[in-house]
Structure 1
Amino acid sequence: MCDSLDNIDVEVGARAVVPAGTIIDDTLGLLEFDAFQRIDLSAEFENQGVTKDDVDAVHLVHFTLRVESPADGSLDFLRSASFFAETEGQPRVLIAKLDEVPRGARELSMDVIEGVDLKPYVVAPSMRITTEARVGGRPDEETTVAADVLLDVDIAVPGC
């Protein structure tokens, strides 16, 4: 009975702007999502009436990438991508990846790494989600990519 009462979903989103390629510059470094550089879920927990001390476990449910612009843009500049959780005092941990990006894709569901408990990262003062991407050059036009993350947060509820 308590299984659904002691879990909350927390959504985290970010955007990255990938500049158009030029003759001089045809490589892309990291796919950097600024909002993922400092994630602090304290306010989200407060809105739910819980604190970081109430967290029992945190698991990634899904991680998607989506082209927001241009309207006809795709993720063809990506060949593969891996995402990691990081925080001070904890090892860097792989949380999601896609070994091969299908040609023409505008939206991707990353493969979530099962069994990774993100509690030590979420209860830290802040965590980061970083990216390693294998690329095939920059896109023809400036491209905005949105990343959406859904976390399942298991919280301690007295009596459950």
Structure 2
Amino acid sequence: MNRRVALQNLLLAVAAAAVTSCDDLDNFEVDVAAKATIPAGTVLDELLGVLAFEEFQSINLTQELDNQGVTKDDVDSVRMISLALVIDGPSGANFDFLESLAFYAETEGQERVLVAELAPVPKGQTSIELVMSGAELKPYVVAPSMKLTTAAKGKRPPQETRVTAAAVLDVDVTVPGCGA
């Protein structure tokens, strides 16, 4: 009887270890970065409406999925887990020109969805971390391409300003043998 209980405990431990290792296997992170140059404000063109991050205009994660040995059909869920902006220059520049900022995911055939925002933007900062909405991005990621667009309130900075945006996506996929 003790042998039987010991064998059952061993099988339970092996099953628990398999579940734990599958949890670790079926998620991976994808880094996406982009740069923008914001022209200096003029008397006639002072209001800021959009920050144009060119690399965010056509995001295709097929290569990243291929690198993980999965296809878009294997994707169960995608969520943005972080989005940060950093001033690259000029020296002494900060985000004081922004009042609020929001990023949206877009793709053909889907409603535009809020993925991250920050309002108000804190004064004196050279880097900011946006608040994630928790939106499900699978329909956008499995589309041929998605784009991240912005809506910004504020005024153009007093001098041309360079900004880098870095986003991290958590991709949850189905791994054969691990279940959904």
TM-score of the alignment, normalized to the shorter chain, above 0.5: yes
Distance 1:25 1:123 in 2: 38
Higher fraction of helix: 2
Q: Deviations over 1:62-103 (max 9, x none)?
A: 011111111211011110011111111111111100110111
RMSD: 1.0
Larger radius of gyration: 2
Alignment of structure 1 residues 3-152 onto 2, 5 Å: 3-114=23-134, 116-135=135-154, 137-152=155-170
Deviation at 1:51, TM superposition (A): 1.3
Q: Percent identity?
A: 52
Give the total of aligned pairs.
158
Runs of at least 4 residues off by over 3 Å? none
TM-score normalised by structure 1 residue count = 0.95
Q: Paired residue for 2:176?
A: 158
Deviation at 1:141, TM superposition (A): 1.5
Q: SS of 1:11's equivalent?
A: strand
Distance 1:131 1:159 in 2: 40
Distance 1:29 1:7 in 2: 35
Distance 2:150 2:128 in 1: 15
Q: Can you give the 5+ residue segments of structure 2 that lack an aligned partner in the other structure?
A: 1-19
Distance 1:45 1:99 in 2: 33
Deviation at 1:26, TM superposition (A): 2.0
Higher fraction of strand: 1
Distance 2:63 2:123 in 1: 39
TM-score normalised by structure 2 residue count = 0.84
Q: Which fold has the larger relative contact order, with Cα–Cα distance below 8 Å and residues 6 or more apart in sequence?
A: 1
